[in-house]
């Protein structure tokens, strides 16, 4: 790994909890019900003789180390016993991030954070034990010290700021570690060579014989490793958020039904550590055994971390599960234009979470609107869905999101058409690919309503949207690309949304075929044809591309023109996305479009060589690039060389490791330099799971 | 009130929750499970014409208003509709703090925070409704606008930063206000003239027609007051902390057994607002009808606020109540040397809370030690109690405090002897004054054990401590005056502790008399005599005072020499504290002592005129001064003039309002200037409730 100094989330499934570490000299720490780095002192290090001690560079930047002291902390004069503490530097350390592990090695010390994850079955199909295994709100750390070639006893330290009590206070002799109140803790199984310490400013007393100041805010474990020994210690990094957490829909964490306290989490985690370490190994092997280059492997691993950081599995007063994915720094709940992109990931590991979100959209966050044409004539509209379900653990009232507002053009306006398309696409994908025909059948009337709703928004019957929702008031609808490029925000006559609408019609066609509604199937089929034909007519033969918006002379060239292709492909309709299939003109036009725009200075950034979604904006979104990359490489099979792909992967990988390294996975970047522009700490980058897909088996 | 710019807590009973406001241009806000000012924007103001609007100076200092903009906020250019916003200044405003209300008036606007409080009966003796009335985790605000002389409609605003949802989202049409997740809210009953708004930076859009951005973090209510009307609106400032809050002893807030959610708190509060407003009026009248000057009335009111801010009534898994008073900025739980001083307050309003603390000290925080003399010979010790029960919602393990550590001289050493004395004094006072003889009887064996323990620490049988606990290791015991003056920290041969020990023996004498143990009664009686005689021998006739420590030539002169007198007095033993009684030599010596030391340059600060506890330290503690003032004025009846007392009251009052105005009630002050030196946001200052006491009825 060329750049090792970047923050990453380390999070269990559905606990909206992270341990964040990785940007050097910027500390580490837990965040609960949010995803922000904490910048607390984190102590990992060792000492083998009186003179020198070594610490990993995880101390908080709040310490404001001055230039001279940056690498050697001079001890308090009265306290020479500690010797010199050397803070290790980037060049001393090797870091490796696998899918489920974040490994740091230096000299004889290996330290890693282990974030086990895997397939999560429907809750009602699991035993209590299986459920506990899946819902444990904790991750792990492991520390290995190789003292086998030494004749001196080594003393290893592991500890952190923000811990305000010893775990032995509540767990007795069996465990050692620290905790803060009832909500965060670290612990390991006790053995005689481990000593627990608590105090203020433990850096000054890391190797002192005893230090117990129970008013302290740092807990450190000192572990003696004898000469000739190589020892590994496993720590749980545990979290617990009890009580009713969300408003609007009162709910508590599902895991609180299975774990009574953070102590309960700790003992279960350490009793079952072998299971979790094995699970992490499985994931690591799965990714390592793929044929993906290291840059893609890294990007998948990094994205996966930030996805889990944002996941939250709750249970309402009716005892039913509520799945939430929070929107990174924005904290919006189940933002629908993220749900549709995270579909690829959830379909692989826990398809029922997507269904759970679709159900809640139906039950609480659907609405029926009217539509208006450009002359402000009003007509019948139909059913659609809100942009999100609220923000920061506060569910918004029924039928309304936290994001959308009336009378706005641009950011914060309604996304009625896009969310309508998103529900159809997600539902078809879930029902058909996961073979949940019973659920599909239950949605029979909904699908019919949604087809009508789509058609009512297309008054000139050309297959694409031409009316805005009356919910917009005097404003107009936007798409998920709201913040990317002003010219792309508009939903009406939008190329990206038109192709996705085509995909929605194909999805409906398949659903109606399955459910046996032949007329609806044909209607959907015809509408897909109309959409494809309309889009083809927008192709500018001279310029060789389709403009982003079919209005006002727009000349933006956008990669997500092809985004919609992914959905028929995932449904197994390879004909629909083939240049020799029934949409051959359409697919050929899109291939030409990509060929034209994917060049330096257009949709390849002239400075950095990164992909950029739009030729007219240097704001670009990695999650969306990943989808289009998969389509262009594996669906359209376009002829870019391996070297070209690797070159792009290197640039994109470096962006995450270096340019926006303090905010975990970042979606919105400046294509020129990879600086974060928004959507920090974001879950959506798991679209890159597509790279791992095997058409036949996985998707 | 000469100085109006100081922060104050506004807190319900036992909810460890505050709304903190009062230091101008420093914002306001809720703090939960802590007592710190929050510095959020708080909007109270009005507008009667297009050109000018007026806001109370409660905006956050984070806004970093520059010098020119300090008084007039220039509106964003596009937004001239708001006109100019004038931030009112200290000279425009009148503030008055009564016992249960904090009133601000300016022009036609009156704004007040109302913190109703009163007697709280034992929980099992109250009906469910009475319990709900007592445990409601909320305070109130009232806003009155007098538009009776105006021909224009006025628009009043009330709102705050930190609120992230509209209360109507979960409470429908009946209420208006804002909330943050499940834990804090403000609300009023809806009427047609009230409009709810939410957004970012509401200052810029305070008077705009509609503003609903549900991603916002500020909620504001706009209220139209018609020409000729004078209207009052009552708001609840509600809090709710659900789930298990404490570790060590898992417990939840008692009120969560009676209120299901913050919405439940809001509706109950507003339905019963008349009860609460009346309760506040009762308290106000009680204080106003006393013969105390305004400075003492203010100090009582201010101290009471910070006391309630630190109170916390929990319920354990055994359904039994757990009373906690947290130690201000230090957050230690039920620090015993605070409990004994807060006794005066709790005995007036809810004596059972003191009993509850004594019970928990017995059950979990007692211990049996050995003792050691100055030559390190070890002997049998006895039962005593820890300094505290933990810190920051974390109960420490059985038999150990969070504060005390082994092998220390000075701050953080053990307080074994002092806490032993404290339990005896509190228990006798509670049992005898509250006439809970059944409880006293249950403690029969405990009292015997504690008498033995006291005697075992006094090996030379002179009535005062001469051995330290073996828990100190190589260190020595300290007293609560640990941080005041190094020479006073020592417990052994300490004048303050010797007098308090005398008081403990008298307390034991009365308890054993009641319980019918004649020999123990006599033994206690004799020990009290020995203590008094010993102390008298320490009187330096030439210098006219008793040194603070009877060792090493100590020459500190301390006011708390008399502190222990309060306890026999409160037990009705006026003879014990009379210069003509059975301890006449002792009391006469103490009076001479005070006469000698209470002079400018000794225990009256030469610069400020404030009292200082020790002649050799300018660190002084208001809570302790209040006790000694009451003793000197009302028990020893010493001949200081009314003018002298008023002069001192003015200095002490000004310290709280001006010198340490950003941290609510502060205990540890610099006697020269009133600057805070520690013990900020502190509960103990309610010792000044003594001023309100009527010997016969109240105490």
> Read out DSSP for B18-80?
EEEE-STTS-BEEEESS-----B-EEEEEESSSSEEEE-S-S-GGG---TGGGSEEPPPTT-G
Are the beta carbons of B169 and A393 separated by less than 8 Å?
no
Q: Are B310 and B623 in contact (CB under 8 A)?
A: no
Q: Tell me how many degrees the CA angle B177-B183-B185 measures, rounded to the nearest 5.
A: 15
Mutate to test the interface with B, among A214, A239, A406 (most CBs of B within 10 A): A214
Whole-number mean pLDDT of chain A? 94
Q: Specify whether the CB–CB gap between A266 and A175 falls below 8 A.
A: yes
B633 touches chain A (CB under 8 A): no
- pLDDT of A498 over the 80 cut: yes
The mean pLDDT of B77-94, rounded to a whole number, is 77
Contacts of B263 (CB under 8 A, 6+ apart): B167, B170, B171
Q: What is d(CA B687, CA B699) in angstroms, rounded to the nearest whole number?
A: 12
Least Cα distance to B332 among B501, B480, B542 occurs for B480
CB atoms within 10 A of CB A377: 10
Other Cβ atoms closer than 10 A to A13: 21
Nearest one of A15, A48, A8, A14 to A32, comparing CA atoms? A15
CA diameter of chain A:
88
Average pLDDT over residues B347-356: 98
Burial class (CB in 10 A: 0-12, 13-18, 19+), A303: buried
Q: Is B250 on the interface with A (CB under 8 A)?
A: yes
Helix (H) or strand (E) holding A329: none
Q: Give per-residue pLDDT as tens, A166-189.
A: 999 999 999 999 999 999 999 999
Q: Are A349 and A120 in contact (CB under 8 A)?
A: yes
Q: Are strands B175-180 and B165-166 parallel, antiparallel or unpaired?
A: antiparallel
Q: Is the pLDDT of residue A110 over 90?
A: yes
- Reported in sequence order, the residue ranges of B441-597 that DSSP labels E, i.e. its strands, are 468-469
DSSP letter at A7 equals -
Which among A537, A536, A518, A516 has a CA at the least distance from the CA of A526? Answer: A518
Residue-wise pLDDT tens digits, B521-533: 999 999 999 999 9
Distances (CA, A) of A388 to A335, A361, B119, B232, B442: 4, 9, 48, 38, 61
> Long-range contacts: A227-230, Cβ < 8 Å, 24+?
A227/A147, A227/A150, A227/A151, A227/A152, A227/A153, A228/A147, A228/A148, A228/A150, A229/A147, A229/A148, A230/A144, A230/A145, A230/A146, A230/A147, A230/A148
Asked whether the CA dihedral A267, A271, A276, A281 is positive or negative, the reply is positive
Residues of chain A with C-beta less than 8 angstroms from the C-beta of B401: 214
Q: Cβ of A201: how many Cβ atoms within 10 Å?
A: 14
Cβ distance B42 to B7 under 8 Å?
Answer: no
Phi, psi of B176 (to 5 degrees): -130, 140
For the residues A8-29, what does the mean pLDDT come to?
A: 98
* The predicted structure's pLDDT at residue A68: 39
Closest CA–CA distance from residue B414 to any residue of chain A (Å): 13
Distance CA B571, CA B509 (A): 11
Cβ contacts from A onto B, under 8 A: 104
Mean pLDDT of B37-65: 90
Residue A628 pLDDT exceeds 60: yes
Q: Looking at residue B350, what is its pLDDT? A: 98
How many helices (H) and strands (E) chain A has is answered by: 17, 29
User: What pLDDT, on the 0 to 100 scale, is given for residue A517?
Assistant: 98
B408 lies within 8 A of chain A by CB: no
What single-letter DSSP state applies at residue A397?
P
Would you call A128 exposed, middle or buried from its count of C-beta atoms within 10 A (0-12, 13-18, 19+)?
exposed
* B392 vs A164, A392, A393: nearest CB: A164
SS (H, E, C) A597-653: HCCECCCECCCCCCECCECCCCEEEHHHHHHHHHHHHHHCCCCCCHHHHHHHHHHHH
pLDDT digits (tens, 9 = 90+) for A508-560: 999 999 999 999 999 999 999 999 999 999 999 999 999 999 998 999 999 99
Q: Distance between CA B194 and CA B213 in Å, rounded?
A: 18
Residues of chain A in contact with residue B390, where contact means CB-CB under 8 angstroms, are 214
Across the interface, whether the CB atoms of A402 and B214 are under 8 A apart is answered yes
| pLDDT of res. A488 | 78
pLDDT tens figures, A50-107: 889 999 999 999 865 443 344 444 444 444 455 789 999 999 999 999 999 999 999 9
- The whole-angstrom distance between A394's CA and the closest CA on chain B is 6
Q: Which of B170, B181, B391 sits opposite A392 (nearest CB)?
A: B181
Among B526, B581, B532, B583, which Cα is nearest to B561's? B532
Whether B244 sits inside 8 A of A242 (CB atoms) is: yes
What are B44-55's pLDDT values in tens digits? 999 998 889 999
Q: What's the N-to-C CA distance of chain B in angstroms?
A: 30
Please report the pLDDT score of residue A298 as a whole number.
98
Q: Which of A474, A429, A427, A421 is nearest to A451 (CA)?
A: A421
Q: Which of B163, B177, B243, B387 to probe by mutation at the A interface, max A CB count within 10 Å?
A: B243
* Of B20-29, B197-206, B341-350, the least confident: B197-206
Q: For residue A169, give how far its alpha carbon lies from the nearest alpha carbon of chain B (Å).
A: 5
Q: What is the pLDDT of residues B581-590, one digit of tens each?
A: 999 999 999 9
Is A251 in CB contact (< 8 Å) with chain B? no
User: CA B648, CA B691: separation in Å to the nearest integer?
Assistant: 14
Residues B170, A405: C-beta atoms closer than 8 Å:
no
Instruction: Write the pLDDT tens digit of every residue in B131-155.
Output: 999 999 999 999 999 999 999 999 9
Give the pLDDT band (50/70/90) at residue B82.
low
**B248 to A401: CB separation less than 8 angstroms, yes or no:** no
Q: What is the pLDDT of residues A118-128, one digit of tens each?
A: 999 999 999 99
Q: Are B400 and A169 in contact (CB under 8 A)?
A: no
User: Do A248 and B169 lie within an 8 Å CB cutoff?
Assistant: yes
A148-166: per-residue pLDDT in tens? 999 999 999 999 999 999 9
What percent of chain B clears pLDDT 90, i.e. is strictly above it?
Answer: 91
Neighbour count for residue A313 (Cβ, 10 Å): 24
Nearest 5°: the CA angle A273, A275, A276 is 65
pTM score: 0.95
Percent of chain A with pLDDT over 90: 91
Q: Which two tokens stand for residue B350?
A: 């809810």
CB count within 10 Å of CB A127 equals 8
Per residue in B242-290, pLDDT (tens digit) is 999 999 999 999 999 999 999 999 999 999 999 999 999 999 999 999 9
């Amino acid at each position: 790994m060329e750049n090792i100094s970047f923050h990453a989330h380390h999070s269990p499934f559905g606990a909206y909890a992270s341990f964040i570490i990785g940007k050097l000299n910027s500390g580490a720490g837990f965040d609960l019900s949010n995803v922000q780095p904490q910048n607390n002192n984190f102590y990992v290090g060792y000492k083998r003789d009186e003179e020198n001690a070594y610490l990993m560079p995880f101390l908080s930047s709040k310490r404001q180390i001055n230039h001279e002291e940056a690498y050697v902390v001079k001890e308090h004069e009265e306290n020479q016993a500690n010797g010199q503490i050397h803070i290790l530097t980037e060049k001393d350390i090797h870091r490796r991030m696998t899918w489920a592990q974040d490994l740091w090695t230096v000299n004889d010390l290996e330290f890693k954070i282990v974030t086990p994850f895997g397939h999560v079955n429907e809750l009602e199909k699991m035993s209590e034990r299986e459920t506990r295994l899946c819902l444990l709100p904790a991750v792990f750390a492991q520390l290995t010290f190789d003292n086998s070639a030494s004749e001196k006893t080594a003393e290893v330290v592991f500890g952190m700021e923000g811990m305000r009590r010893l775990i032995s206070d509540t767990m007795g002799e069996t465990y050692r570690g620290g905790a803060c109140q009832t909500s965060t803790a670290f612990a390991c199984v006790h053995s005689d060579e481990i000593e627990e310490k608590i105090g203020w400013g433990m850096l000054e007393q890391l190797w002192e014989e005893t230090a117990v100041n129970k008013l302290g805010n740092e807990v450190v474990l000192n572990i003696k490793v004898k000469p000739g020994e190589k020892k590994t210690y496993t720590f749980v990094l545990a979290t617990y958020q009890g009580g009713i957490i969300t408003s609007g829909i009162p709910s508590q964490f599902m895991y609180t039904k299975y774990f009574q306290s953070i102590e309960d989490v700790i003992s279960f985690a350490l009793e079952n550590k072998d299971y979790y370490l094995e699970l992490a190994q499985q994931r690591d092997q799965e990714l390592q055994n793929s044929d993906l280059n290291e840059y893609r492997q890294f990007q998948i691993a990094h994205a996966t971390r930030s996805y889990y950081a944002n996941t939250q599995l709750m249970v309402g007063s009716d005892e039913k599960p509520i799945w939430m994915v929070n929107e990174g720094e924005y904290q919006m709940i189940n933002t629908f234009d993220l749900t549709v992109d995270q579909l690829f990931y959830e379909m692989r590991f826990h398809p029922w979470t997507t269904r759970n979100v679709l159900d809640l959209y139906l039950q609480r966050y659907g609405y029926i609107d009217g539509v208006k044409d450009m002359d402000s004539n009003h007509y019948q509209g139909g059913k659609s869905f809100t942009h999100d379900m609220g923000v920061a653990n506060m569910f918004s009232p029924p039928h309304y999101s936290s994001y959308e507002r009336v009378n706005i053009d641009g950011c914060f306006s309604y996304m009625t058409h896009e969310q309508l398309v998103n529900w159809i696409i997600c539902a078809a994908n879930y029902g058909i690919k996961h073979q949940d025909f019973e659920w599909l059948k239950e949605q029979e009337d909904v699908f019919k309503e949604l087809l009508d709703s789509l058609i009512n928004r297309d008054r000139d019957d050309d297959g694409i949207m031409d009316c805005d929702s009356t919910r917009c008031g005097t404003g107009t609808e936007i798409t998920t690309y709201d913040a990317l490029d002003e010219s792309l925000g508009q939903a009406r006559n939008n190329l990206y949304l038109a192709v996705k609408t085509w995909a929605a019609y194909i999805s409906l066609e398949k659903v109606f075929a399955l459910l046996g509604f032949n007329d609806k199937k044909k209607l959907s089929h015809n509408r897909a044809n109309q959409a494809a034909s309309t889009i083809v007519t927008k192709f500018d033969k001279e310029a060789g591309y389709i403009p982003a918006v079919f209005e006002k002379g727009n000349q933006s060239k956008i990669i997500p023109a092809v985004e919609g292709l992914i959905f028929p492909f995932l449904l197994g309709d390879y004909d629909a996305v083939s240049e020799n299939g029934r949409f051959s003109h359409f697919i050929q036009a899109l291939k030409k479009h990509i060929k034209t725009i994917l060049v330096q200075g257009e949709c390849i950034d002239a400075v950095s060589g990164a992909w950029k979604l739009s030729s007219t904006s240097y704001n670009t979104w990695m999650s969306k690039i990943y989808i289009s990359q998969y389509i262009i490489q594996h669906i359209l099979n376009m002829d870019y060389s391996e070297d070209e792909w690797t070159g792009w992967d290197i640039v994109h990988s470096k962006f995450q490791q270096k340019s926006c390294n303090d905010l975990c996975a970042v979606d919105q970047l400046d294509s020129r330099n990879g600086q974060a522009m928004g959507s920090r700490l974001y879950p959506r980058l798991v679209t890159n799971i597509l790279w791992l897909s095997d058409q036949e088996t996985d998707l």
